Amino acid sequence: MDYPRLIIDTSVLKNNVQKLSEICHSNGIELVGVTKLTLGNPQIGKIMRLNGVDKIGESRLKNIVNLYKNGVPGPYQLLRIPMPSEIPFAVGIVDEFLVSMPETAYLIDRHAQEIDRNVSLIYMIDVGDLREGVWFEKAKEEIIEVANNLRFVHLRGIGTNVGCYGGVLPTEENMSMLLRIKDELEKELGRQLIVSGGSTVTLKLLEDRKLPKGINQFRVGEGIILGTDATGDRDIPYLRQDTVILEAEVIEVDYKPSVPVGEIGKDAFGRTPHFEDRGYRKRVILAVGEQDVKPDGLKPLEDGLQILHASSDHLIVDTTESNREFKVGDIVRFRMSYGCALRAFTSPYVEKVFI
Ligand SMILES: *Cc1c(COP(=O)(O)O)cnc(C)c1O
C-alpha cells in the first residue's frame, strides 16, 4: 500500500528554509514561502513558518483553509488573483491579495469592510511575461485611481510575476522598471509601497548582486522545496536538491525487443510512438504512471536507467546499462522536476512520508 511514495526529508527542508530566509532577510527582503507545489501541505507550511519564512503564499484558497485548519501560522498571501466568486469567503482568511484589476480590488474592499477585517493588496504589474498584471505602460494611472478609490483595505505595494507564460527572465532592466513605477506612485500617493519582485527565478539576480535596491518581497516555492529553478534551468548552488525523493516499486522484470511487434497505432495518450531498434533489452516495469507523476520530469538517482515510456499506471524503464540485477519488489528512487513534483504531491495515489 505504500508505493509510490514521496519521502520528504524535514531536516533538508529546514536547511533550505533557513538558508534562504537568512539570505533574503540580510538583503532587506520579506520571504513568502509558497506551498502550492505541495497541495498546501501543513507539515511543510509549518516547517517554513517556524524556520524563517515571513508569510505563507498559496494559489488555492482551499489549500489556505487546510493550512489554517491544521494550525499553520499565517499570515497568508493568495498568489492567484481571486475569483470574484471566492472573494466574500477569502476576505475572512487571506491577509494579502495579489490583484490586477480595479473591479477585483473594489470587491475585496467592499467585502473586507463588511466583515471589518483589514487586508492588504499588492497590485500586479506585467513587465513583459504576459501572465497576470496590468500592462506596465498603463500601470501608474490605473493604480493611482484604484488607490484613491479604496475605502477600507490597504494598498501595500506593487509586484510582478515573470517566468510563467513567456518564460521572461527577471533582469536589472525589468526590475528597475518596476522600481521607477513605484517611485512615481509613492510621489503621487505620499506614502511608501513595497515591491514584490518575483519567485524562485529572481533569486539569480540576488546571487549575482544585480537585484536593484528596493525590491523587498520574494515569493518562493520551487527553490525551497526542490532546490531548483525551472525557468533558469539550474540547481540553486546554496540550496539542497534532495528534500523530496520519489520511490516506486518494480512489478515486472523482463528481456524484450526494443521495437514492438505488430501494426503501430497511437499510444494511450494519442501520441505516435517512435522506436529505435537496439535489439533485445533488459527492462523493468514500475507501478507508477501519468496519474502519479510527469514521466519526463523523473530523474533516476542511479546510473544506467533510461525511462522509455509511461501510460496511466505503468512506467517502462530500460535497465540494460545498469549494474543492478533488478527483482520484482525492488524500489527505484527519483528526483523530480517542478511539474513532476507538482503532480506527485497532488496525486491521491502517491503516499507522502516525512522523515
Ligand atoms: C507559484 C507562484 C510563485 C512561486 O513560484 P516558484 O517558482 O515556485 O518560486 C510566486 N508568485 C506567484 C504569483 C505564483 O503563482
pLDDT band at 198; cut points 50, 70, 90: confident
Sign of the alpha-carbon torsion through 185, 186, 190, 193: positive
pLDDT score, position 273 = 77
Distance 219 CA to ligand 1 centre (A): 6
- Are β-strands 5-8 and 351-354 bridged in parallel, bridged antiparallel, or unpaired? parallel
Q: Could you identify the atom of ligand 1 that is nearest to the CA of residue 220?
A: 9
Average pLDDT, integer, range 43-50: 97
Distance 322 CA to ligand 1 centre (A): 37
Is the per-residue pLDDT at 164 higher than 80?
no
pLDDT score, position 152 = 97
Q: Could you identify the atom of ligand 1 that is nearest to the CA of residue 230?
A: 7
pLDDT score, position 135 = 92
Is the per-residue pLDDT at 1 higher than 70?
no
- One-letter amino acid of 233: D
Average pLDDT, integer, range 253-263: 89
DSSP letter for each residue of 70-95 = TT----EEE-SPPPGGGHHHHTTT-S
**Mutation to probe ligand 1, out of 61, 219, 228, 340 (largest number of atoms < 8 A from CB):** 219
**Mutation to probe ligand 1, out of 24, 61, 63, 79 (largest number of atoms < 8 A from CB):** 79
Chain center to CA of 129? 17
Distance 71 CA to ligand 1 centre (A): 23
Q: Could you identify the atom of ligand 1 that is nearest to the CA of residue 199?
A: 9
Structure-block grid coordinates of residue 214: 528596493
Nearest CA, atom 14, ligand 1: 79
* 43 SS3 class: helix
Average pLDDT, integer, range 242-260: 95
- Whether the Cβ atoms of residue 39 and residue 346 lie closer than 8 Å to each other: yes
Does the C-beta of 163 come closer than 6 Å to ligand 1? Answer: no
Structure-block grid coordinates of residue 72: 499553520
Structure-block grid coordinates of residue 236: 540553486
Helix, strand, coil % in the chain, rounded to nearest 5? 30, 25, 45
Kindly state the DSSP code that residue 295 receives in the 8-state scheme.
G
Q: How many residues does the chain have?
A: 355
Is the per-residue pLDDT at 274 higher than 90?
no
**Mutation to probe ligand 1, out of 199, 218, 345 (largest number of atoms < 8 A from CB):** 199
pLDDT tens per residue, range 280-333: 999 999 999 999 999 999 999 999 999 998 989 999 999 999 999 999 999 999
Helix (H) or strand (E) run with residue 333 in it: strand 331-336
Residue 233 CB burial class (10 angstroms; 0-12, 13-18, ≥19): exposed
Kindly state the DSSP code that residue 133 receives in the 8-state scheme.
S
pLDDT score, position 169 = 84
pLDDT score, position 171 = 87
Q: Does residue 256 carry a catalytic annotation?
A: no
Is the per-residue pLDDT at 268 higher than 80?
no
Q: Could you identify the atom of ligand 1 that is nearest to the CA of residue 338?
A: 8
Could you say which of 14, 19, 36, 55 is catalytic? 36
Mean pLDDT, rounded, of the chain = 94
Is the per-residue pLDDT at 232 higher than 90?
no
Structure-block grid coordinates of residue 213: 535596491
Q: How many CA atoms lie within 13 A of 315 on its CB side?
A: 29
Neighbouring-strand partners of residue 335: 299
Q: Could you identify the atom of ligand 1 that is nearest to the CA of residue 36?
A: 1
Distance 85 CA to ligand 1 centre (A): 22
Distance 324 CA to ligand 1 centre (A): 39
Does the C-beta of 161 come closer than 6 Å to ligand 1? Answer: yes
- Whether the Cβ atoms of residue 5 and residue 353 lie closer than 8 Å to each other: yes
Does the C-beta of 200 come closer than 6 Å to ligand 1? Answer: yes
Average pLDDT, integer, range 81-90: 97
* Pairwise pLDDT comparison (226 vs 259), residue with the higher score: 226
62/255 Cα distance (integer angstroms): 46
Nearest CA, atom 15, ligand 1: 79
Distance 266 CA to ligand 1 centre (A): 36
Average pLDDT, integer, range 97-101: 98
Largest CA distance in the chain: 75
Distance 193 CA to ligand 1 centre (A): 21
- Residues with Cβ within 8 Å of 6's Cβ and at least 6 positions away in sequence, in order, are 244, 245, 246, 247, 344, 345, 350, 351, 352, 353
Average pLDDT, integer, range 170-179: 88
pLDDT tens per residue, range 318-352: 999 999 999 999 999 999 999 999 999 999 999 99
List the one residue out of 202, 160, 158 whose CA is nearest residue 182: 158
* Pairwise pLDDT comparison (185 vs 260), residue with the higher score: 185
What the chain holds in terms of domains, given with CATH numbers, is 10-230 (3.20.20.10), 244-354 (2.40.37.10)
pLDDT band at 231; cut points 50, 70, 90: confident
Q: How many CA atoms lie within 13 A of 81 on its CB side?
A: 19
pLDDT score, position 111 = 98
**Mutation to probe ligand 1, out of 55, 161, 217 (largest number of atoms < 8 A from CB):** 161
Does the C-beta of 199 come closer than 6 Å to ligand 1? Answer: yes
**Statement: the pTM of the whole predicted model exceeds 0.85:** yes
